[in-house]
Structure 1
Amino acid sequence: MHLSFTPPRHVKIGDAAAFAGTTPRAVRHYHQIGLLPEPERSADGRRRYGHDDMVRLLWIRKMAETGIRLDDMRAAFDGSRDVEENLGRLEETLAAREAAIRRQRAAVQRLREVGSPLGLLSDLVADRLRHLPPGALRPSDVDALMITERIFGAQAAAVQAGVFVVLATHPGLRAEEDRLDAAEATLDDGVAPDDPRVDELAAQRFAHHKALERAIEAAGLDAADEELFALDDDVEQDREMSAYEAFTKMPYDFSPARMRCVELTGRLMGQDLADG
């Protein structure tokens, strides 16, 4: 007995998913992200998939099996049904992703070569610190450099790196830096802004600043700083916000007394520059 069979013109989502080797849940996800257009619905409100829908679904599954991301497919299949055009778009998308992966791998390689956390800093800043012995640079120093680089750029952070080089190679200056940091931290313990200790610490911080300047000059780092600021502006990292905007977005937990100490120290440094 001969049996004739006419294939259906449209199928339900379960049959479409089974045919493509996936699940109804995955098919619905393709719809949600715009990768697979919504098919027409029957009178009962259910999706019905036709020939073109099934071909598109097979394309998606085949590309997914090769490791192509759904987002890349969506960028490639931007409403066009021309195969060559789709493949061209997909090739462009994958090429861009490949370039991004190369940049990421280069960044990881740099981290391995320079050593974390110096690899997090720009080359201009890291070059200042390459010859320091292991452990000479503290984690807090790196944190400060990252913040300075973000707010003021690579040149300013490179100058600050010179200060950390001096601190790492001059135990007496490092000890005084630690003492001042600890003393300034006590200003956060309910000290009034007009407390005499605020002015005293500002004067001590300024004296320490001058001692650092002398050590920097003796090490020849001041000449290197002048060379840094003589460079073209293109050495600066691209920043999405101005220094002022970045500074105002960086949180701090200093007390009014400690902020006044910082302000007074800045005034002393500014007056010193004016007198010099």
Structure 2
Amino acid sequence: MYPSVTPPRQVKIGDAAAFAGTTPRAIRHYHQIGLLPEPERGGDGRRRYGYDDMIRLLWIRKMAEAGISLDDMRAAFDETRGIEENLGRLEESLAAREADIRRQRAALQRLRAVGNPLGLLSDLVTDRLSHLPPGALRPSDLESLLVTERVFGPLGAAVQASVFIVLATHPDLRAEEDRLDAAEAALDDGVDPDDPRVEELAARRFTHHKALHQAIEAAGLDTAEEKLFEIYDADLQGEETIQMSAVEAVTKMPYDFSPARMRCMELTAQLLGRHDSADS
């Protein structure tokens, strides 16, 4: 004879979690977000789970294994919606996840190929700088590209890459860049914004900018930049990129610049603006 076994009518949360292949903590979270209705409690005040609750937990586990988000699980259990509507939402969600995975794989491949954090930037930037020898880019160059890509998107960072290509291939321009950076950093040491050195440094930075631009043109990098715009329109149009305006970025990105240094930057921008207006 087989032993008589009487299955329980209800089980505690630990047994429910063990059978469904999840954890009590996960089940409590399902209650909190409305994915699994709160069951009745026993005389000891603890939750008791019945047959319907266990079926729901098993379906949740199956959907989780299929990569379906918790929000879409709620939609799937929403009986006020037709099955086609729910399936359509789930299909859209999975398609979005697939696109994310493709982007992540592409980023991983770039990172492996490049061998440094440059590979984490967009392929426009990575491809633009791929021909430079190892060590040609400084950590500060990568940081600048990272910020530019956040504010102006992949195209803006790819265009900025022309500057770093020139700096990496023209030691004289890199040396002047270092001198200017050091002089601008010195403005943070209590220099008055009206100090004549501020205006002089702005003029030097403007002259250096013109020299960089001439080197970019001489190397044909400006032509390459025009092609980047075509690539951007062809390959990236319609891709959602979270960007912000330059003005908004200034208010969110913490730069500990002194008033004198900010004044130098403003004067440099004015000189560049007048120069661009004269050329147009």
TM class by smaller structure:
0.7 to 0.9
Unmatched 5+ residue regions in structure 2?
none
Unmatched 5+ residue regions in structure 1?
none
Tell me the amino acid that sits aligned with residue 77 of structure 2: G
Higher radius of gyration, 1 or 2 = 1
Aligned mate of 1:79, from 70, 77, 83: 77
Report the equivalent of 2:123: 123
Relative distance call for 1:264 and 1:59 in structure 2 (3 A) is closer
Partners of 2:115 and 2:23 lie apart in 1 by: 46
String of CA shifts for 1:52-72, please: whole Å, max 9, x gaps. Answer: 2233345556x49xx838974
Following superposition, the deviation at residue 140 of structure 1 comes to: 0.8
Following superposition, the deviation at residue 4 of structure 1 comes to: 8.2
Relative distance call for 1:232 and 1:265 in structure 2 (3 A) is same
String of CA shifts for 1:214-242, please: whole Å, max 9, x gaps. Answer: 22222122232344456665647623433
**What secondary structure sits across from 1:131 in the alignment?**
coil
Partners of 1:124 and 1:18 lie apart in 2 by: 49
Aligned mate of 2:260, from 257, 261, 275: 257
Relative distance call for 1:181 and 1:217 in structure 2 (3 A) is same
Aligned partners of 2:110 and 2:126 also within 8 Å: no
Tell me the amino acid that sits aligned with residue 135 of structure 1: G
Report the equivalent of 1:191: 191
Report the equivalent of 2:155: 155
Report the equivalent of 1:246: 249
Q: Which deviates the most, 51-60 or 253-262?
A: 51-60
Q: Which deviates the most, 34-43 or 205-214?
A: 34-43
Partners of 1:158 and 1:197 lie apart in 2 by: 33
Following superposition, the deviation at residue 156 of structure 1 comes to: 2.8
Report the equivalent of 1:68: 65
Partners of 2:224 and 2:14 lie apart in 1 by: 70
String of CA shifts for 1:182-219, please: whole Å, max 9, x gaps. Answer: 01100000000111111111111122122212222221
Aligned partners of 1:124 and 1:154 also within 8 Å: yes
Q: How does 1:43-58 map to 2 (within 5 A)?
A: 45-58=45-58
Question: Are 2:269 and 1:266 aligned?
Answer: yes
Tell me the amino acid that sits aligned with residue 245 of structure 2: S
Following superposition, the deviation at residue 41 of structure 1 comes to: 3.3
Tell me the amino acid that sits aligned with residue 100 of structure 2: A
- Across the two proteins, how many residue pairs are aligned to each other? 269
Report the equivalent of 1:218: 218
Partners of 1:74 and 1:18 lie apart in 2 by: 24
Relative distance call for 1:60 and 1:152 in structure 2 (3 A) is closer
Aligned partners of 2:72 and 2:90 also within 8 Å: no
Relative distance call for 1:203 and 1:23 in structure 2 (3 A) is closer
Report the equivalent of 1:172: 172
Tell me the amino acid that sits aligned with residue 121 of structure 2: L
Following superposition, the deviation at residue 179 of structure 1 comes to: 0.7
Aligned Cα RMSD in Å?
Answer: 3.8
Aligned partners of 1:72 and 1:90 also within 8 Å: no
Following superposition, the deviation at residue 144 of structure 1 comes to: 0.9
**What secondary structure sits across from 2:103 in the alignment?**
helix
Partners of 2:230 and 2:16 lie apart in 1 by: 66
**What secondary structure sits across from 2:65 in the alignment?**
coil
Partners of 1:26 and 1:153 lie apart in 2 by: 38
Aligned partners of 1:129 and 1:161 also within 8 Å: yes
Partners of 1:222 and 1:7 lie apart in 2 by: 77
Name the TM-score, length of structure 1 as normaliser. 0.78
Partners of 2:277 and 2:231 lie apart in 1 by: 25
